[in-house]
C-alpha cells in the first residue's frame, strides 16, 4: 500500500482572540509566533526538513465548514491527487477541489464524525 498520511501538518483551533492566544503561548510556552501562529520544524526519518503549523483562528471562521467543530487537523500526505481519488473510491466525502500553492497542494475530506480534515502535500523548502 502506498503511503497516505506521513505526519501531522497542523493543529488549527477557534478562539475568541487569536492575537491574545498567540501572545499567551509566546509568553508562557515560548512559541515563536507570527501572523499565522507558530511553525515547528523537525526532520523526518530520512533527514528531510518538515514543518507542523499551530494556528489559532477567529471563532467565526468559515474555514472549517461544513464541520461545526472548533478545530481542524491538517495531515501531511504524499501524492495528494492520487490519495483523493482513492478516498473518493472508498466512499470518503471530499470537500471542495484540490488547491495548489508554492508551498504545497491541499485537499479536504470529512471523517466518520463529520470533522473536516485538511490534507497537505507539502513543499517544505518554500518556507526556508
Query: Average pLDDT by consecutive 10-residue portion of the chain (128 residues)?
Result: 87 97 96 95 89 96 95 96 96 97 95 96 74
pLDDT at 2: 77
Q: Which spans in the chain are helix H?
A: 18-29, 80-89
> Could you give the CA distance from residue 113 to residue 128 in angstroms, rounded to a whole number?
36
Q: State residue 128's pLDDT score.
A: 59
Going by C-beta distance under 8 Å and a sequence separation of 6 or more, which residues neighbour residue 2?
78, 79, 82
CB atoms within 10 A of CB 120: 21
pLDDT of the residue at 45: 87
This prediction has a pTM of: 0.89
Place of cell 484540490: 98
Amino acid at each position: 500500500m502506498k503511503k497516505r498520511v506521513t505526519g501531522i501538518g497542523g493543529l488549527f483551533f477557534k478562539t475568541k482572540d487569536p492575537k491574545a492566544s498567540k501572545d499567551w503561548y509566546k509568553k508562557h510556552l515560548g512559541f515563536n509566533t507570527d501572523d499565522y501562529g507558530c511553525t515547528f520544524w523537525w526532520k523526518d526519518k530520512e533527514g528531510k526538513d518538515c514543518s507542523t503549523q499551530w494556528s489559532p483562528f477567529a471563532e467565526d471562521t468559515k474555514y472549517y465548514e461544513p464541520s461545526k467543530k472548533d478545530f481542524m487537523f491538517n495531515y501531511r500526505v504524499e501524492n495528494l491527487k492520487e490519495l483523493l481519488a482513492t478516498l473518493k473510491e472508498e466512499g470518503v466525502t471530499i470537500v471542495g477541489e484540490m488547491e495548489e500553492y508554492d508551498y504545497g497542494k491541499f485537499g479536504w475530506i470529512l471523517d466518520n464524525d463529520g470533522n473536516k480534515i485538511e490534507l497537505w502535500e507539502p513543499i517544505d523548502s518554500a518556507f526556508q
